[in-house]
Amino acid sequence: MGYVDVSGIRHTLPDGRVLLDDVSFRIGEGARAALIGENGAGKTTLLRIIAGDLLPEAGAVARTGGLGVMRQFIGSVRDDTNVQRFLVDLSPPAVREAWDAVEAAELALMESDDERAQMAYAHALSHWGDVGGYEAEVTWDTVTVAALGMPYEGCKYRELSTLSGGEQKRLALEGLLRGPDEVLLLDEPDNYLDVPGKRWLEERLLETRKTVLFVSHDRELLGRVADRVVTVEGGSAWVHGGGFVSYHEARSARHERLAELRRRWDEEHQRLIDLVRTLQQQAANSPDMANRYHAMQTRLAKFEAIGPPPERPPEQKVAMRLRGGRTGVRAVIAEQLELTGLMKPFDAEIWYGDRVGVLGANGAGKSHFLRLLAGQEVAHTGGCRLGARVVPGFFAQTHAHPEWQERTPVDLLWHGEPGRPGVDRGRAMAALRRYGLADSGDQLFRTLSGGQQARFQILLLELSGATLLLLDEPTDNLDVLSAEALEEALTAFDGTVLAVTHDRWFARSFDRFLVFGADGRVYESTEPVFDETRVQRAR
Amino acid sequence: MTLAVRRIVLDPAISSAILRLSAEFPDVGRRSIGLVVRTCREELRGSPTDALPELVERLARQRLHAPAL
């Protein structure tokens, strides 16, 4: 079994801010450690340093047992990567290199069939066998059957972009959990997974003997799986040796202890300064006191040189003010609505003020339903209309806003868009500050973390004056505190809320539920239903 | 340059390649083809078993096509 030992890591951002300083912890053999922290605290950066993608400014990472990494973007792959390439990239470096050599040799053979090219190809194939490539292909077959229900040969050239986010995640997780690497770094492995998928993930993580360090914002997953919690905050990291259940208590106690230590240090500092001043005056009057004065000066200098203990990390303040407004009593009316090829016709009435959770397995058509309500083009039959004064505001699951990528939040707020007037820089910064985004106001949208992008989208909803919130997995990228702030904001929102979610904790805050069943049936429930299985469709 | 190598018994990589190459190169003696194929087989020793027949045949074909030096 493997372990990860992080010691004295320091990382500075390009703008000179110290993101991480003196980060040290050890994840021992077979541990299942959660890495948590506020959005932008440096979790992903720390994972990248551990994975070897980033070189730390100071400190070192020691590890044994081979490292498998699942990156955050998996689930939203939209390029031309195919299943084969994806599985190769998840493999140990030796397998990856051998694969690349085989591919290069095959290309060379296409150019020229001479003896040299043939021998190079034979050598590449031998090496592929030597590094366990053929065994890896057998594993990939097991992986694709488990994740996609298809043998490897039948799907290896399939582009990843044709798979749902949940399928991409599951493919990666199956690959890593069945692979040879003993240490796994999983950056938000539960994103895009539906509830059965999350439960499956929980079981697999509980039964694996590998050492796992994972980032997650799912409170249920954290509670069930993590046996220790590494928190990145205040520019450093600390470890809670218990599970997530006792984490909040431990964190509060730590913050109080830090505040107390700091208070004592400040008091002692002030006492020494006062003493130096007193002795300075006494030394001026009596040369006998000069030695004591210099001794006290030295003592103060040494005290200051050691420096104060770390400060209590500042609490992230996120204040979302989703206002909404009074609309017609019937906010959404669906009559024999059928999204073509996705589900059977259904009727639904959603009333002003309702909090409706839209539940169901991946691929059941939940996101399409929300997009239809948001006024986007979605193939359908039957009727679907919004009530009087209902203004939809849509939060997209994958933050798919290519037009925003090269613009900054301040710029986007300043220009506005139809239905959302622009605001000046002062107001924009004030609004961004409430969402904990003031430091990122002039950063390009594409460089914001997933959680920061999510918070910015919620801010746009606030400014758009929407009276019907259509939220597609809003808590997926939000840290725990931001998710709680969103829950509070939704409670105070004067309007109607429809949210697609696989967050069991979040779902419990809703009044009723629209469930998209695996059999294509859409039905209402007063209790959250998380047991709908994956929708089976011909591929 | 070809190498004198021991006969490899019951090797499908060799027998099928000799059969096909004999039909492809009627002007070359079957004995010579056998020697080229066995030499290739020996040089490709260590290659994955499943890929061996194709590798041997391709390399032998290449050598039979190559002009004599």
Residue of A nearest to B57 (CA): A118
Mutate to test the interface with A, among B41, B52, B58, B65 (most CBs of A within 10 A): B58
- With an 8 Å Cβ cutoff, the interface of chain B facing chain A consists of 43-44, 46-48, 51, 55, 58-59, 62-63, 66
Q: Which pLDDT value is given to residue B8?
A: 47
Tell me: do A283 and A354 sit in the same domain.
no
Q: Quickly state the pLDDT bin for A538 (edges 50, 70, 90).
A: very low
Among A118, A125, A128, beta carbon nearest to B62:
A118
A40-54, A70-84, A515-529, B30-44: which has the minimum mean pLDDT? A70-84
Q: Which pLDDT value is given to residue A453?
A: 83
The Cα A414–Cα A428 span in angstroms is: 7
Look at residue A405 and tell me if it is in a domain.
Answer: yes
Q: Which pLDDT value is given to residue A226?
A: 94
Q: Are B63 and A115 in contact (CB under 8 A)?
A: yes
- pLDDT higher at A276 or A417: A276
Residue A149 reports pLDDT greater than 80: yes
A477: which DSSP letter?
A: S
Look at residue A238 and tell me if it is in a domain.
Answer: no
Q: Which pLDDT value is given to residue A23?
A: 93
A310-314, B11-15, B18-22: which has the minimum mean pLDDT? B11-15
Q: Which pLDDT value is given to residue A399?
A: 54
Tell me: do A464 and A511 sit in the same domain.
yes
A217-231, A392-406, B52-66: which has the minimum mean pLDDT? A392-406
Residue of B nearest to A113 (CA): B62
Look at residue A481 and tell me if it is in a domain.
Answer: yes
Rounded average pLDDT over B21-44: 90
The Cα A513–Cα A498 span in angstroms is: 9
- pLDDT higher at A260 or A325: A260
CA–chain centroid gap for B3, Å, is 12
Mutate to test the interface with B, among A106, A112, A116, A121 (most CBs of B within 10 A): A121
Percentage of chain A modeled with pLDDT above 70: 97
Domain spans, chain B? 13-65
Q: Quickly state the pLDDT bin for B6 (edges 50, 70, 90).
A: low
- Provide the CATH number for the domain around residue A487: 3.40.50.300
Size of interface A-B (CB pairs under 8 A): 30
CA–chain centroid gap for A135, Å, is 32
The Cα A509–Cα A519 span in angstroms is: 26
Nearest-neighbour CA in chain B from A156: distance (Å)? 20
Look at residue A501 and tell me if it is in a domain.
Answer: yes
Domain end among A158, A193, A228: A193
Residue B62 and residue A129: Cβ atoms within 8 Å? no
A173 phi/psi in degrees, rounded to 5: -65, -45
The Cα A486–Cα A456 span in angstroms is: 12
Residue A537 reports pLDDT greater than 80: no
Closest among A139, A164, A162, A161 to A152, alpha carbons compared? A139
Rounded average pLDDT over A485-513: 88
B32: which DSSP letter?
A: H
The residues, any chain, with a CB within 8 Å of residue A27's CB and separated by 6 or more, are A3, A4, A5, A33, A183, A211, A213, A228, A230
Residue B48 and residue A114: Cβ atoms within 8 Å? no
Q: Which pLDDT value is given to residue A397?
A: 64
A chain contacts of residue B51, beta-carbon cutoff 8 Å = 122, 125
Provide the token pair at A67: 């490292």
Percentage of chain A modeled with pLDDT above 90: 42
Q: Are A194 and A362 in contact (CB under 8 A)?
A: yes
Among B47, B55, B62, beta carbon nearest to A113:
B62
B chain contacts of residue A114, beta-carbon cutoff 8 Å = 62
Residue A273 reports pLDDT greater than 80: yes
Mean pLDDT of chain A: 88
Among A113, A122, A128, beta carbon nearest to B44:
A122
Residue of B nearest to A109 (CA): B58
Tell me: do A363 and A496 sit in the same domain.
yes
Nearest-neighbour CA in chain B from A117: distance (Å)? 10
A chain contacts of residue B43, beta-carbon cutoff 8 Å = 119
Q: Quickly state the pLDDT bin for A536 (edges 50, 70, 90).
A: low
Please state, in angstroms and as integers, the Cα–Cα distance from residue A160 to each residue in A25, A84, A254, A288, following that order: 35, 9, 44, 82
ipTM associated with this complex: 0.74
Residue B69 reports pLDDT greater than 80: no
Residue A449, H or E segment: none
DSSP A137-198: HHHHHHHHHHHHSS-HHHHTTSBGGGS-HHHHHHHHHHHHHHSS-SEEEEESTTTT--HHHH
Tell me: do A155 and A272 sit in the same domain.
no
Tell me: do A15 and A121 sit in the same domain.
no
Residue A113 and residue B58: Cβ atoms within 8 Å? yes
Rounded average pLDDT over A432-445: 85
The Cα A51–Cα A70 span in angstroms is: 10
Rounded average pLDDT over A219-233: 92
Closest among A3, A7, A5 to A31, alpha carbons compared? A3
The Cα B56–Cα B47 span in angstroms is: 10
Q: Quickly state the pLDDT bin for A326 (edges 50, 70, 90).
A: confident
A417-426, A434-443, A467-476, B2-11: which has the minimum mean pLDDT? B2-11
Rounded average pLDDT over A99-117: 90
Tell me: do A389 and A503 sit in the same domain.
yes
Residue A115 and residue B48: Cβ atoms within 8 Å? no
Percentage of chain B modeled with pLDDT above 90: 23
Q: Quickly state the pLDDT bin for B68 (edges 50, 70, 90).
A: low
Q: Which pLDDT value is given to residue A539?
A: 43
DSSP A83-141: HHHHHHHTS-HHHHHHHHHHHHHHHHHHH--SHHHHHHHHHHHHHHHHTTHHHHHHHHH
Rounded average pLDDT over A9-37: 90
Residue A407 reports pLDDT greater than 50: yes
The identity of residue A33, as a single letter, is A
Helix extents (H) in A310-382: 366-373
Q: Quickly state the pLDDT bin for A492 (edges 50, 70, 90).
A: confident
Q: What is the CA radius of gyration of chain B?
A: 11
A chain contacts of residue B47, beta-carbon cutoff 8 Å = 122, 125-126, 129
> Which range marks the domain in which residue A284 is found?
263-306
Among B46, B48, B59, beta carbon nearest to A118:
B59
For A167, other C-beta atoms within 10 Å of its C-beta total 21
Look at residue A208 and tell me if it is in a domain.
Answer: no
Residue A197 reports pLDDT greater than 90: no
Domain end among A172, A193, A214: A193
Residue B48 and residue A126: Cβ atoms within 8 Å? yes
Residue A519 reports pLDDT greater than 60: yes
Tell me: do A367 and A478 sit in the same domain.
yes
Q: Which pLDDT value is given to residue A417?
A: 79
CA–chain centroid gap for A502, Å, is 14
Q: Are A13 and A45 in contact (CB under 8 A)?
A: no
In terms of DSSP bridges, do strands A211-215 and A236-240 run parallel, antiparallel, or are they unpaired? unpaired
Residue B55 and residue A134: Cβ atoms within 8 Å? no
Residue A302, H or E segment: helix A290-306
Residue of B nearest to A129 (CA): B48
Closest among A97, A26, A35, A12 to A64, alpha carbons compared? A26
Tell me: do A6 and A91 sit in the same domain.
no
Tell me: do A31 and A5 sit in the same domain.
yes
How many domains is chain A built from?
4
Q: Residue A314: exposed, middle, or buried by beta-carbon count in 10 A (0-12, 13-18, 19+)?
A: exposed
A33-37, A202-206, A255-259, A287-291: which has the minimum mean pLDDT? A287-291
Residue A501 reports pLDDT greater than 70: yes
Residue B3 reports pLDDT greater than 60: no
Tell me: do A381 and A464 sit in the same domain.
yes
What's this model's pTM, rounded to 2 decimal places?
Answer: 0.74
Tell me: do A294 and A394 sit in the same domain.
no
Tell me: do A346 and A300 sit in the same domain.
no
Q: Quickly state the pLDDT bin for A534 (edges 50, 70, 90).
A: low
Residue A245, SS3? Answer: coil
The Cα A269–Cα A162 span in angstroms is: 63
Residue of A nearest to B40 (CA): A119
Rounded average pLDDT over A214-235: 90
Look at residue A530 and tell me if it is in a domain.
Answer: no
Q: What is the CA radius of gyration of chain A?
A: 28
Q: Quickly state the pLDDT bin for A204 (edges 50, 70, 90).
A: very high
B57-60 contact pairs (CB < 8 A, 24+): B57/B13, B57/B16, B57/B17, B57/B20, B57/B21, B58/A113, B58/A118, B59/A115, B59/A118, B59/A119, B59/A122, B60/B17, B60/B21, B60/B33, B60/B36
Residue A341 reports pLDDT greater than 80: no
B chain contacts of residue A122, beta-carbon cutoff 8 Å = 44, 47, 51, 55, 59
A65 phi/psi in degrees, rounded to 5: 95, 5
Residue A121 reports pLDDT greater than 90: yes
Residue B22 reports pLDDT greater than 80: yes
